[in-house]
Amino acid sequence: MTTTGPKIVRPARWLVLIGILLIGVSGQKFVSSEYGKLVGVPDVTAATGSAGPDARLVPAPAAPRDPAGGEWRQNSPPTFLRIPEVGISAPVGPVGLNTDGTLEVPTSWTDVGWYEYGPRPGDVGASVLVGHYDSTTGPAVFYRLDRLRKSDTIEVSRADGTVVRFTVDRIQDVAKDAFPAAEVYGRSDRPELRLITCGGAFDKKTHHYLKNVIVYAHAVAGPA
Contact 192, 126 (CB under 8 A): yes
What's phi and psi for 197, nearest 5 deg? -150, -175
- Report if residue 71 sits inside a domain: no
- pLDDT of the residue at 179: 86
pTM above 0.95, yes or no: no
Q: How many domains does the chain have?
A: 1
- Report if residue 208 sits inside a domain: yes
- Report if residue 165 sits inside a domain: yes
- Report if residue 146 sits inside a domain: yes
pLDDT in tens, 111-141: 999 999 899 999 999 999 999 988 888 899 9
| Alpha-carbon 183 to chain mean position | 16
Query: Which CATH number belongs to the domain containing residue 121 in this structure?
Result: 2.40.260.10
- Report if residue 159 sits inside a domain: yes
Give me the domain span that covers residue 158: 13-59+76-221
Tell me the one-letter amino acid at 100: D
- Report if residue 3 sits inside a domain: no
pLDDT in tens, 19-69: 323 333 333 333 333 333 434 444 443 443 333 323 333 344 443 444 444
Count CA within 13 A, CB hemisphere, residue 24: 8
